[in-house]
Amino acid sequence: MSNSRTAIVTGGSRGIGRAVAERLAREGLGVVIGYAGDTGAADDTVAAIAGAGGQAIAVKADVADETAVAAMFDRAESELGGVDVVVHSAGRLALSTIADMDLDVLDTLHRTNIRGSFVVAQQAARRIRDGGAIVMTSTSVVKTQFPTYGAYAASKSAVEGMTMILARELRGRDITVNTVAPGPTATELFLDGKTQEQIDALAKVPPLERLGTPEDIARVVSFLVGPDGHWVNGQILRSNGGMI
């Protein structure tokens, strides 16, 4: 069975990635749920999509492993008919001052966030069908520059640096490349290790006075990969309620 359009969503088993996958499936796209290790969460996402009448498969892949990522694209082509949308939501977060950052942790973070983003972008550039859309994920902390986010912000700055370059390299194929940079969003990754006081303080920063939700970000991604957003290209869209 194949859909008219197919999306690969890395990090698609939880948080923002899951919200994106479910949103795109509701809009009629077949979805490949790329996940790193939690098979249960990935299967649960596939079941939720199927239960709502959509089509999805789960594919385990380390985004920094080019062989695994290529195999994920192979599955999308063989089982769902091709690749039209790539949303790269997989990532790691590690907080520390620059002075105290464990360099092994830094290497692991950057392997996923920089190399992983590059590998996914590389396969997308080679394999996505003309007329498609690529959406990478950054963070608004690249601009807010909160202490202890140095390693994470550096990795996401690299993602932003690739965005317009890749858009220009895909000239002539009617493919858009954009990056969404969420602000504080109520996901497991964001909430982990924070006190309620810290969470409440961050929620008050945007003029809209709340944390973002995964669904807020999914709506932005849906716009960018759909026909209404196809004139937006090479941009960093900071979806953060106005915090910067």
Which residues are part of the catalytic machinery? 152
> Cα(88)–Cα(140) distance, rounded to whole angstroms?
16
Whether the CB-CB separation of 42 and 60 falls below 8 Å is answered with yes
Tokens of 63: 């985004």
Residue whose entry in the numeric block shows the structure tokens 């769902």: 80
Rg (CA), the chain: 17
- DSSP letter at 133? E
Pairing of strands 30-35, 56-60: parallel
CB-facing half-sphere around the CA of 134: CA atoms within 13 A: 31
Query: How many Å apart are CA 42 and CA 61, to the nearest integer?
Result: 12
The DSSP string of 79-103 is HHS--SEEEE---------TTT--H
| Helix spans in 170-213 (H) | 188-191, 196-203
Residues pairing with 181 in the sheet:
238
